[in-house]
Amino acid sequence: MGIQQFRLPDVGEGLVEAEIVSWKVKPGDTVKLNDTVVEIETAKSLVELPVPYAGVVTELLVPEGETVPVGTPIIAVQTGEATPGDLTPPVTEGTPKEDLVPSIPGEEARTPNLVGYGPRATEAKRRPRKTVGSEVAAQAGPAVAEPAAPAPVPVPAPVEVAGGNEAGSVHVLAKPPVRKLAKDLGIDLAQVTATGPGGIITRADVENHTAAQAAPAQAVPSQVAPVVGAQGDTRIPIKGVVKVMAQAMVSSAFTAPHVTEWITVDVTATMDLVERLKKDKAFRDLRVSPLLIVAKAVTLAARRTPIINATWDEANQEIVIKGSVNLGIAAATPRGLIVPNIKSADSLTLPELCGALNDLVATAREGKTSPADQAGGSFTITNVGVFGVDAGTPIINPGESAILAFGVVRKQPWVVDDEIVPRWITTLALSFDHRLIDGEKGSTFLADVAGILEDPARALMF
């Protein structure tokens, strides 16, 4: 018999700490292999963790509401004889603390870190929890699937690489073009999960890390502890979703030359179509909205202008046109602004796309959007109309080349056959990277989207 300590694991998000949100067990409970024992929150999502062995819970080592680094023991379980699947050695009285920390032969003992097992100078800080209760809504700006990146591989022969941390360098493996890309994007390679052979960080690793961090501007800080000063000033710590959003937006704004074009559209025919679809049996139990038609119009218009669904590869000096449209939908959640994406949205039928949109919103509302659902996007729609806003100039998600802002749909006077009549009107605003999308391509794409919304029958032409 022995006591096994389960340490906070690497959940594959490129982060170094997490908050213990809620325990699902208590001391004395019996747990089976892979039973869910705790819910944690990172800067990206809420994650339920399974216990890697069976036994009786003897102690919860970290209280709810506390933020701790990856590698910290969080729960102790009394088990039978230790097995190869145990994550930590048995803990007995008198066991030195340093003996519980995994180490790589030939290296000094060090505190486990999410990526690369690098040393950590800061200590865990406790913060008060706040209640999650606000609704999910599409929001302006970028921040919506490929499998989550695997756990980091110990570096066998580290090389010195310039990074974004205070130390100025970290031990990671990456080729010069990848290091240059990370530097251009302002990414610290120590925070990127390596998937290449022998722990090498690849270009795809950097792009996936950047995409997962992408979040649009104007996100509302959530679940942080504000500090009110003597003069009434409120200071809110820059952390979590707000921090990664800020980094992503600065990187995008100062890397890609943005151009924004606007078009005002009569979408009366689209609104009529939405009402008909709501009564169609193919959409039973589905929520149909104008956003569905906009999403479909984007995937169709991208067929004629595929460059809109591309990315700029600075390191290799290439333009990469994506093979499918991974359609991101910016969503304001109780935790902040995120952008989950629908994989291969261009291959879905209209009912399938509607179901995917419904699932995306429901998952975000529950705070269950996974890092994989936020990675790998190729084009984003931000629905500012739900807030009564006409339009805006959204910032492109890193790793993408364009983003469409969909404004409020409202009845306005409109000239039809020389007569002024009330019509449903909206405004679309497209921001695109002018390095690879010129004015003609951007204008063609935007006009095609607008044309389908004005007359959905035009979709038959694509």
Sketch the domain layout of the chain as residue ranges: 2-100, 145-235, 241-461
Structurally, at CATH architecture level, domain 241-461 sits in 2-Layer Sandwich (3.30)
Task: Determine contact, residues 143/249, Cβ cutoff 8 Å.
Answer: no
Tally of CA atoms within 13 A in the half-sphere of 237 that contains its CB: 11
pLDDT in tens, 189-231: 878 888 777 678 887 777 777 766 654 433 333 444 566 666 7
Whether the CB-CB separation of 137 and 387 falls below 8 Å is answered with yes
Q: CB of 410 within 8 A of CB of 391?
A: no
How many other β-carbons are positioned within 10 Å of the β-carbon of residue 109?
A: 12
Q: Topology of 145-235 in CATH?
A: Dihydrolipoamide Transferase (4.10.320)
234: left (phi over 0), alpha (psi -120 to 50) or beta: beta
Q: Which CATH number fits domain 2-100: 2.40.50.1020, 2.40.160.40, 3.40.50.12780, 2.40.50.100?
A: 2.40.50.100
Report the candidate in 335, 165, 183, 179 with the shortest Cα–Cα distance to residue 245: 335
Strand partners, 57: 77
**Set 171, 209, 258, 434: catalytic member:** 434
Q: Is 418 helix (H, G, I), strand (E, B) or coil?
A: coil
Which amino acid belongs to residue 50?
P
Assess whether pLDDT exceeds 90 at residue 235.
no
Which residues, 6+ apart, have CB-to-CB distance to 414 below 8 Å? 266, 420, 421, 422, 423, 425
137, burial (CB in 10 Å: exposed 0-12, middle 13-18, buried 19+): middle
How far apart are the C-alpha atoms of 15 and 345, rounded to whole Å? 28
First to last CA, the chain: 67
Active site residue 171: no
Q: Mean pLDDT across the chain, nearest whole number?
A: 77
Same CATH fold assignment for domains 2-100 and 241-461: no
Q: How far is CA 10 from CA 121, 196, 441, in A?
A: 18, 17, 42
Q: Kind and range of the H or E element at 423?
A: strand 419-433
Residue 106 pLDDT level (bands cut at 50, 70, 90):
very low
Q: Could you tell me if 87 and 52 are in contact, meaning their C-beta atoms sit under 8 angstroms apart? A: yes
pLDDT in tens, 119-165: 344 444 444 544 444 444 444 444 443 444 444 444 333 333 333 33
For residue 311, pLDDT beyond 60: yes
